[in-house]
Amino acid sequence: MRDLEGLEKGTNINIMKFNKRKCHTLKLRRNNPMHQYMLMAHQLVCSFVEKALVVLVDNKLTMSQQYALAAKKASAILPHQADHCKWSKGGSASPVLSSNETPLGAVSSARLPPARETWIY
């Protein structure tokens, strides 16, 4: 809960909107392939997008600098994900994803100090 309060405080300072009701945090242990990670009743599956969008948090950087680095990294990664989606026929703009892919923009994450990871959904 402390993590959510910190995020909410940071968004207020930076004049951003933050909805605590839409945010869930999950603490993950490092390098534990035997552990099944759950968010409420859903089992989580790692995908390329989830792993690639991890952002290192540095206390020496301001929040604005961290946001800029995260945006730069995401914009470099996300265009390549279009190659992994096959668009359905008939003019529909909804992508058809394979079973191991996550829709673009559905997952963002932040990596905290080495002892743990926090994924925000």
pLDDT score of 110 more than 50: no
pLDDT score of 73: 73
Residue at 13 is within a domain? no
pLDDT score of 85 more than 50: no
pLDDT score of 75: 72
Residue at 5 is within a domain? no
Residue at 112 is within a domain? yes
Rounded Cα distance, 109 and 52, in Å = 9
Residue at 49 is within a domain? yes
- What's the structural domain count of the chain? 1
Q: Which domain holds residue 55?
A: 22-78+105-121
Alpha carbon of residue 11 to chain centroid:
17
39-67 mean pLDDT:
60
Residue at 86 is within a domain? no
Determine what percent of the chain is predicted with pLDDT higher than 70.
Answer: 11
Higher local confidence (pLDDT), 87 or 17 = 17
Q: Which residues of 75-105 are buried (b: 16+ CB within 10 A; e: fewer)?
A: eeeeeebeeeeeeeeeeeeeeeeeeebbebe
pLDDT score of 116: 45
How does pLDDT run across 1-45, given as a tens digit for each residue? 455 566 666 666 666 665 656 655 545 555 555 556 666 666 666
Phi, psi angle pair for 42, to nearest 5°:
-105, 130
